[in-house]
Structure 1
């Protein structure tokens, strides 16, 4: 539940930032990600296109809006101003530190979902024939999901746009437990890994950290 101190982002920031964290996204995806009605999202996207902040791309069967360099710069300025205005820097910095600790566990879990060492082949693909192996991975993701709920709950208490990550992660995990393995680390769906990567980008961009420049990054 959001507290009275929660800062709600302006629709303009929400839409532009939704494009950033999504990478490439259609109008409906942007609207859902930004938490606003599709008509408003589409109108803003066309305005942003006129400003040179977004462009529509099509490649390999994928299409949608993506940020230009000018759009990324604009989003970064918006985020910095919002962070100061909301007085949320300390909370986001603390959440980022906690996220980095969990990140290693998430990466290992997704790797274990994709690979299962066999004999001398440590990089053998996981054929998902061992329910105990897969069950261990799903149990670890469940624990990570609980930590994510706590972490994003604290974040959403100061910046409302951080709400929803835990719910989306949980929804993906539920599908994976129901037998659809693509929802762990699949591409093209809101898998556990995809949701996690979006939150990572959200934290980095909010704090103005370049990906790969974090302590311990190689």
Structure 2
């Protein structure tokens, strides 16, 4: 259910006034005490999910494919030139298109997993749908949608999904 923008703005202004949300330029973030309260709320509201073996197994599979995406993003952001690893300046369209093709194959592999998460937690459809949209825009030549932090890129959405899965499952990031 979509909310009216003016209603959302009113709630955010109230949260700012009560110091539950902080404004940094045009961005909003939870205040430290609100973050702590949210964390406690996740443990209460997600107890059933955390006890669900299907959810736990899906999170474990996510962690495995997450390593594959990290490697793919490293290849997107860097190039090997004469034995040296350099930043990818994205002037080699063939190289970039090859990475985008790999991203498409990666997405094909994880679609069923994303669907599993949506079946367990319907609001995660936002990430599933956003990842597909970012992939499609990347395939259409908008390369910012591979990993740019200034838009809802594949990498940005994947990172946010990972953070949400960590909160839902009550687990820590594997480095």
1:119-168 Cα deviation digits (max 9, x unpaired): 1322353434251x323311221122233332222122122221121211
Aligned to 2:85: 122
TM-score by length of 2: 0.86
Measured in 1, the distance between the counterparts of 2:49 and 2:141 equals 39
Question: Which region of structure 1 is more displaced relative to structure 2, 42-51 or 93-102?
Answer: 42-51
Measured in 2, the distance between the counterparts of 1:92 and 1:51 equals 35
Measured in 2, the distance between the counterparts of 1:47 and 1:181 equals 38
Q: Would you say the 8 A contact 2:16–2:22 is kept in 1?
A: yes
Aligned to 2:5: 38
Aligned to 2:16: 49
Gaps of 5+ in 2: none
How many aligned residue pairs are there? Answer: 173
Deviation at 1:100, TM superposition (A): 0.9
Gaps of 5+ in 1: 1-33
Aligned to 1:175: 137
Measured in 1, the distance between the counterparts of 2:138 and 2:119 equals 29
Q: Would you say the 8 A contact 2:49–2:168 is kept in 1?
A: no
| SS of residue in 1 equivalent to 2:81 | coil
Q: Cα RMSD between the aligned structures?
A: 2.1
Higher RCO (CA < 8 A, seq sep 6+): 1
TM-score by length of 1: 0.71
Alignment of 1:1-218 (within 5 A): 35-58=2-25, 63-84=26-47, 87-89=48-50, 90=52, 91-131=54-94, 133-211=95-173, 214=174, 217=175
Is the helix fraction higher in 1 or 2? Answer: 2
